Every structure is written in C-alpha cells, then in structure tokens.
Structure 1
Amino acid sequence: MGFPNGRRRIAVAVAALLATAAVAVTVYRVLAPAEVSTPARAGYPPAASPAPGVVGRLPVAPLIVDDRLRVYAAHRQVYADRPVDGRHRTTPFWSYRRWPAALDAVVASGTTVVTRWSDGRLVALDARTGRVAWQSDGPPPVGERTVRRTGAAITWDPRGLLVAHAPDGRQAVVAVGADRTRAVDLADGRELWRAEVGAGCREAVGGTASGQVVSVDSCVGPATLEFRDAATGAVSLRWRPPDAGDELVATPVGCGPGRSGCAGLRTSVPGDDAGRGWLLGAGEPTAAAALDRRDAELVDGTAVAVVDGVAVGSSARTGASLWRRPDLPGARLLAVQPGRVHLLTETNDLLTLDPATGAQRSFFALNAGSDGVGWAPGAVYAAGGFVAVERLRKPVDPAGDDQRYYLTSEPVILAAT
C-alpha cells in the first residue's frame, strides 16, 4: 500500500530539499574561506653545525630559519621540516594553510616567519611551534609572476615584503602594494606607519643596515630614491645619483635574506649594463666604484667580483685591492653571506673563501647521489653557513615546463660551507 499522491509529492520535495542542503553544506565546507593550522607536536630541534659538504637534495627551495628549521612554500601553504641538515625533505614539523588565498611571499627574522597572501593578509607564525603569532591586513601584491614548483620566487625572492631593522631596535615588516605601503611591528603586528602613493609608481628596494627602507619613487617627476625610517615611516632623505635620467633602476647589494640589512646598492638606467655602486649609511650614499660592475657583490665591507677570469676582493670604501685568486679559471661568483664568498667552478665545485683574505674555507663537488655535475645553476640562496642551488637541465630552456627546466624531481641541492 503506497502513499497517496499528495503525500508522495511532499516526501519527494522534502528529500530534494535535504539533498540540496547537504550539497550546499559540502560546497561551503570545500569553498568557504578557511585556514588550517597544524602546530608542532615535537620539541624545537637544536641548532645544527654540519661539516662542510653536500647536505642533501630537496624538491622545494628552503628558507633556513634560526639555524634549526627549513621553511618551504606551496601554492596555499607554508610548512617547515627538520633537522635543518636533513638529507631529504621530511614530514612537516608544522604547517599553515589558507584558502582560497595563494601564498605570495615568505620572510623570517629570528623565530618569526611572516607570510604574505594574495589577498594582502599578513600572517606571522612562531617558528618554534608553528602557531599563529598575529595577523594583519596589508596591501595586496602587485600583479602576477611565474612561480615554478620549487617555490624559490616566494622564499628566496619575496617581492614587496621585507623586514627592516629600525634604529631603536624594533623590526618592521614592510608590505608594498600598488597604491600604498604599510609597516607593522614584527613583534605583534601592530601598525607602525603607512604611506599612500599613486598606483604603481613606487618600488621597494630593501632595508638598510642603518634602519631605513629604500624605495624608488617615480610618482611625481624623475625617479628618486626615497629613504624612510623603518619605525616611523618619516622620510629622512630623497636622493638622485648625479647625472641620473628620468628613469632609475636600483639594485641592493650586501643584503641579508629578503633584502634586509643592505649595506649598498647599484644604480643604473633601464636596459643599461653599466651602473654605479654606492655605500649606504646614515646620510647620502657615497660612491663605491668597486661595486660598479653588474656582477659585483658586497660582504663584510669587501667588494667581490670575477674580473677577466680572476676572483678579486677590494675594499668597498677605498677601492684598494685586498686579494686576488688567479688560480680559479672559469669560476663564477655564486653568492655571498657574512664571512663567506661562494664561487662555482666550471665543473660545479663549490669553493668558499674568506671575504677579508681570499683564503679557502671549503671546497667540494656539488653532487648528490648519482645526479652528476652536468647541470646549470638557477636561483641561489645563502644563509646561516648554508648554500642552496637550483639545478637546471642543460641547455637551459626558460620557456620549458618544470620537467624540462629542472635537472631532477629534487632539483635543489643543499650544502654546508
């Protein structure tokens, strides 16, 4: 005996409503904005001091944090593993994920990891636990860029996001957007200052060792370098190099990771290989001819370059020659960090020198397992005594997909120096 027609219609309607509600709940759970924090369940690992040599190979580009963790970027996730000298990537120590925003940049200072997302949100994580320390609104990033599978563009070259050390000891997280710049305190995310600008006419260069934030300002008139106090945002100096044109490119040198603590910069005009080097201090930049070369680097007051196949170190302030290494034919300057100059030989050996004397600190082949040394270097990162290099397949095809572009599925080689 069945239901009367009226009751059957009601039952069908109710069932349809229930099914629709269930689908709506499922869709909401999947698509609704959300964040998932998975904190650490183990103790904070000790600092590592591995012997010089290849540590291992990784599928993604690590950011070394507090000499204890490696922090990585994924499309919608930032996560860490340990130990810092582990041979391969391991199960995440902690993880933080947002939806639907995409991860745009990651910087770190001490035990604080700051992430910037496609919606402009700044989220700071305590590296010791992975827990959210604070959140703050910031200007959305400008435009789009290509981020390959290693995530090096996010961790090693964070655009529009930097940490600047203020003269009073505070640290400012500076986020640059299309029409405004906003700085917050690294300690708690509280706003320190903001600057409104015309759309797309100000480009962040980096933070100086003397506590200033440097930008190229082309909003009104010829491009000018603008120096702001990292803690207050007050403009202390507007400066243009002598004989500069209307356009200006400024490249920071002598910086820590994330373009922090920069001791110098090089200015040029767009499309011109020639440049002029400058040292940064409390006043106007001072000329440093030893930094004029496009490939020159600055570390511990020494300007380092490879000139006619010879590695040379010169005083950045006076230009006086400090050392020469003519015994390294074919070597190229790979990276610098405090106390270390890293050179890559023709056969992909990593040679590390003392920047003050040119004396050798370590030397070994950048080879992991049976991968060999028949690769070309891509993006490079140097911090905490470590060097990480993307290994690219020869001949390098910048337009190729990731499988063609990278040497292997674990293209990043990590070494202690």
Structure 2
Amino acid sequence: MGIPRGRRRLAMAVVALLATVAVVVIGYRVLAPAEVSTVARADYPPAAQPAAGVVGRLPVAPLIVDGRLRVYAAHRQVYADRPVDWRYRTTPYWSYRRWPAELTGVVASGSTVVSRWSDGRLVALDAPTGRVLWRADGPEPVKSAAVVRRTGAATVWDPSGLHLTELPDGRTVVVASGDAEARGVEVRGGRQLWRVDLPGGCRSDVGTTASGQLIGLDRCAGPATVEFRDAATGAVRERWRPPGGADELVVTPLGCRTGRSDCPALRTAGPGDAAGRGWLLGTGEPVAAPALDPAGATVVGERAVVVLDGVAVGRSARTGAELWRSADLGAVRVLAAQPGRVHLLTETNDLVTLDPATGGQLSRFSLNVGRDGTGWAPGAVGVGGGFVAVERLRRPVNPDGDDKRYYLTSEAVILAAT
C-alpha cells in the first residue's frame, strides 16, 4: 500500500524547504562579512641583534615591527612571523583576516600595527599578541589601476592614503584619506580626532611631516599648491608654492621614517626638471635646502647625503657645508636611509651602509643568497630597525610582465642586517 499522493507532495515540499534553508545557511556562513583573529600562542620574541650581512630571502615583503617581528600583507589577511632574522618565512606567529574586504595598507607605530581595508575600516593589532586593540571607520581608499604584485611591497612599504605622524605632544596619529574625505585617528586607543571633506579628483596626499602635518598637493583651482594640514585638528595651516615654481608640480617626500610618513624634507619639480629643488620641513613654510636639490639626494637627521660624480658626499642639510666625502666605494647610488644609517648600492649589488654623520662605513657585503647571484635589478625597498629588504627584479626589467617574468625568483625579496 503506497503513500497517499497528498502526503507525498507534502513530504517533497518539506524536503525542498529544508534543502533551501541549508543552502541559505551555508551561503550565509561562506559569504557573510566576517573576521578571523588567530592570536599568538608563544612568547613575544626578544629584539634581534644579528651580525651585518644577508639574513635570507622571502616570497613577500616584510614590515619590520618593533625590531622583533616581520609583518606581511596578503589579499585579505595581515600576519606576522618571527624571529625577525630567520632565513625563511615561518609559520604565522599571529594572523588577522577579514572577508570580503581586501587589505589595502599596513603601518606600524611601536608595537601597534594598523591595517586599512577596502571598506575603509581601520583595525589596530597588538604586535606582541596579535589581538585587536581597536576598530575605527575611515574613508574608502581611492581605487588604483596599479598592478598589485605578489610580494605586497606597496601595501606594507608605501601604502597609498595611509600615513603616520607624531604630534608635538608625543601622540601618534594615523591619517587615512580617500577620494573626498580624510580622517585622523589617534594610534593609542583609536579615538577619531577629526574628519574633513576633500575635493575629489584634483587633490592628493603626498605624505606626512616629522612635525605633525599631512602634506597634500592641491590642483583644484589655479597652479598646483602644497598644503600642510595639522594632523591634530585637520585644519589647513599653510598653503605654499615654491618661489618661481611651475604651475604643475611633482612633490617627493625625502628622508621619511617609513614609506611616506614622518618626512623631514621634500623635493619639488616642474615638467622637464632633471631634479628639482629640496626643502626642509618644519612648522612654518618650507626652507630651501640646495643640498637636497640633486636627484637621488636624501636626508637623515640634519645630514643631506648625495652621490656626485661617483662620490658619496655628506652635507649640512641647512647650510650646505660639506661634512665628509667617501670616494673609494666604486659606482654607487643612494638606495634608502633610516635613522643612523644611509644605504648605498653598487653596480654589482653590494650593499654599503654609512654613518650619515661622519661618512664612516658601518658595513659592506654582497646582496647574494644561495646560488641566486647578483645579476638582478633592485625594485621596491623597505627599511627599519637596521634591516634592509629589497625586491630583486629580472633583467631587463619588464614593468608590464607578469610576476613570474617580473621577479628574479619565487623568493624575490632579499633581507639583510646592516
């Protein structure tokens, strides 16, 4: 005796309903916004003090945090490993992942790591534990047409629209800007200090100064003008154009502590300029610094360092007076700088590190690891805590090539202690 037709239809309807509910539940669990925080399960490592030389090679670009961790960027994840001087990437010490937002920038102040996401969200993580310290809303980042390479170097070494600066009272502010809005958030505690509307499309952020200001380039009405916005209040304190400058300007920050944050100087250039003009930054108008005019010049503290006719020269950034010169290095160029160190790269990819105050050589060694050799071109560079990390590109460099053609090897980043 079979099941009555009415009951059979009812049973089929119930089964279909249950299947639909199951699909909805599974779909929600997979696609719903979520975050996954995997905190550290080991002790915070001590600060490393490795001997000068190549530490190792990595597949992704490290942000050196607190002299103890390496922090990396993935598509939807920020994570750390340790020890900072280990030869290869290791199992994550901690990890933080969001969905469906994408990671667009990472900066670090002391032991606080601040990440920015494609929905504008700012999330601060505690470097020793990986725990979330605070969350804050911010403007959505400007969408860029630039290719995001597999090392994530742009995300951790030069994040667009995400900068740090220290106020005169010692507080540190993270400034996040989008196409039509900027916000300043205190790193300690995540309190929003200000929010301002910006003219979209005709203004861009350049970086931050070492004296607590956001540098912007305004092309909205008339000649390009550099503006300095107080990072404590969001108010514009100064609008400035270099005397006799062109209507169009390219503004390049110099000597920044990391990326384009906490920069003590900048260079302005007009169309067709071979180099430009250097300027020291303070609380008022920029002060002319001819020692920073040459292309490739940088500043470390009060010292300007430049390579002229193959000779590394140190000058007073304020007066231009020559302080030292080092003529026995071979053909070199300035690669990067950090407090107490200026890094030069030779034609054969030797890394030479000088004391910017005296010109004394702190270290020199070949940037070679394993059997990789030195027949590569330098790409993006990140520095911090005495370490230097360099992307190694395949020669001849093809900026339009895919990652396999663009990079020398799968482990394209070489890490060195200086």
Q: Specify the code of the residue in structure 2 equivalent to 1:168.
A: D
- The corresponding residue for 2:210 is 209
Residue number in structure 2 paired with 1:312: 313
How big is the shift at 1:329?
2.6
Q: Equivalents in 1 of 2:343, 2:266: separation in Å?
A: 20
Partner of 2:131: 131
Q: Which amino acid aligns with 2:29?
A: R
Is the 8 Å Cα contact of residues 211 and 283 (structure 2) preserved in structure 1?
yes
For the residues of structure 1 that align with 2:239 and 2:346, how far apart are their CA atoms? 41
Equivalence for 1:285: 286
Note the 1:16-415 alignment, pairs <5 A: 16-144=16-144, 145-270=146-271, 272-415=273-416
Shift of residue 289, structure 1, vs aligned partner: 0.7
Moved more, 171-180 or 199-208: 199-208
- How far residue 139 of structure 1 moved from its aligned partner, in angstroms, is 0.6
SS in 2 for 1:379: strand
May I ask how many residue pairs the two structures share in their alignment?
417
Query: Residues 55 and 415 of structure 1 are in contact (CA less than 8 Å); yes or no, is this contact kept in structure 2?
Result: yes
Shift in Å at residue 202 of structure 1? 2.3
- Could you state the TM-score of these two structures normalised by the residue count of structure 1? 0.97
Task: Check conservation: 1:163, 1:258, Cα contact below 8 A.
Answer: no
8 Å contact kept, 2:120–2:138: yes
Structure 1 unaligned runs (5+)? Answer: none
Q: Quote the Cα distance in structure 2 between the aligned partners of 1:143 and 1:268.
A: 26
Preserved CA contact (<8 Å) 1:166 1:229:
no
Q: Residues 190-211 of structure 1: CA distance to partner in whole angstroms, max 9, x if unpaired? A: 1101221211222222221222
Q: Is contact 1:121-1:137 (8 Å) kept?
A: yes
- Measure the CA separation in 2 of the matches of 1:400 and 1:271: 28
Q: How far did residue 104 of structure 1 move?
A: 0.3
Q: CA deviation at 1:258?
A: 3.0
**Distance change >3 Å, CA 274–CA 347, structure 1 → 2:** closer
Partners of 1:117 and 1:368 in 2: CA distance: 34
* Rounded Cα–Cα distance in structure 2 between residues aligned with 1:317 and 1:55: 36
Relative distance call for 1:129 and 1:399 in structure 2 (3 A) is: same
Q: Distance in 1 between matches of 2:246 and 2:401?
A: 37
- For 1:316, give the aligned amino acid: A
Q: Distance in 2 between matches of 1:117 and 1:380?
A: 23
Superposed CA deviations along residues 159-182 of structure 1, whole A, max 9, x for unmatched, are: 100111111221111011101111
Could you tell me how far apart the structure 2 residues matched to 1:285 and 1:346 are?
35
Taking the aligned partners of 2:287 and 2:346, their CA distance within structure 1 comes to 33
How far off its partner does 1:266 sit?
0.4
Look up the equivalent residue of 1:218 and give its one-letter code. R
**Over aligned residue pairs, what C-alpha RMSD do you find?**
1.3
Tell me, what secondary structure is at the counterpart of 1:14?
helix
Hey, what's the Cα distance between the residues in 2 that align with 1:44 and 1:66? 11
Moved more, 229-238 or 108-117: 229-238
Partner Cα distance (1:344, 1:274) in 2: 20
Q: Aligned partners of 1:20 and 1:318: how far apart in 2?
A: 76
Deviations 1:343-388 (A, max 9, x none): 1112211111111221110111111111111111111111110000
Preserved contact between residue 225 and residue 240 of structure 2 (Cα < 8 Å): yes
1:280-306 residue CA offsets vs partner (Å, 9 max, x unmatched): 112211101111122111112111122
Q: Following superposition, which runs of at least 4 residues in structure 1 exceed 6 angstroms of deviation?
A: none
Cα-to-partner distance string for 1:235-294 (whole Å, 9 max, x where unaligned): 222111101233222111011013222111001124533311001112211101111122
Residue type at the aligned position of 2:167: A
1:320–1:175 distance in 2 versus 1, CA, 3 Å: same
Task: Single out whichever of 13-22 and 61-70 deviates more from structure 2.
Answer: 13-22
CA contact (8 A) 1:173 1:183 kept: yes
Structure 2: runs of 5+ lacking an equivalent = none
Letter in structure 1 aligned against 2:281: L
Q: Distance in 2 between matches of 1:108 and 1:271?
A: 36
- Paired letter, 1:287: A
User: So what's the TM-score if we normalise by structure 2?
Assistant: 0.97
Q: Which moved more, 1:102-111 or 1:204-213?
A: 204-213
Equivalent position amino acid for 1:325 in 2? S
Residue-by-residue CA offset, 1:124-165 (whole Å, 9 max, x unaligned):
111111111111111111122321000001001111001111
Q: Using the TM superposition, name which of 61-70 and 232-241 deviates more.
A: 232-241
